[in-house]
Structure 1
């Protein structure tokens, strides 16, 4: 069966308030967070024990999610903190 609608998420995880931030994009936020918690996510996230989901946005199209991820990654840290708070 072909899926006609799919959700994608851009998300930010951290290890503590105002800690290290990681921005990612995924087609399954629950599965992705489970992998981060188990230490099976990105090497960067594992290195800094980034397991706290602090922000996410949902998109219908992967192109839009990737565009937003790149936009957020180019933001200054302070802007990211303000977005989260």
Structure 2
């Protein structure tokens, strides 16, 4: 059985720096961003607030969507976030607590 996948956007704050990623374990990956476990873009720019995510049937589907979204203009990405989460609330408690 293939793992499902997730595409997600973390931000430094409302209208701040954003990062798009994909993973097969969303709670674990967001925990890593929140705790600045790995060096890189999200640690350097303090992107740790989960503001948007999308579930896919496969990790491959999620990775394809991630690559496509990374090509989008910033305005399109902001529209995607605000369409689902207009106040840029942190969604991490929602995915951890169900």
- Normalised to the residue count of structure 2, the TM-score between the two structures is 0.79
Check whether the contact 2:8–2:21 (CA below 8 A) recurs between aligned residues.
yes
Shift of 1:62: 1.7
- Deviation beyond 6 Å, 4+ runs, structure 1: none
RMSD value over aligned CA atoms?
1.1
Which structure 1 residue ranges, 5 or more long, are not aligned?
none
Which structure 2 residue ranges, 5 or more long, are not aligned?
83-98
Q: CA 1:42–1:27 in 2, change beyond 3 Å: closer, same or farther?
A: farther
Shift of 1:41: 3.8
Shift of 1:60: 1.4
Match status 1:18 vs 2:20: no
CA distance in 2, matches of 1:42, 1:71: 24
- 1:36-73 Cα offsets, whole Å, 9 max, x none, are 11101451000011110011011111221111001100
How many residues align structurally? 82
Check whether the contact 2:5–2:60 (CA below 8 A) recurs between aligned residues.
no
CA distance in 2, matches of 1:41, 1:66: 20
- Normalised to the residue count of structure 1, the TM-score between the two structures is 0.90
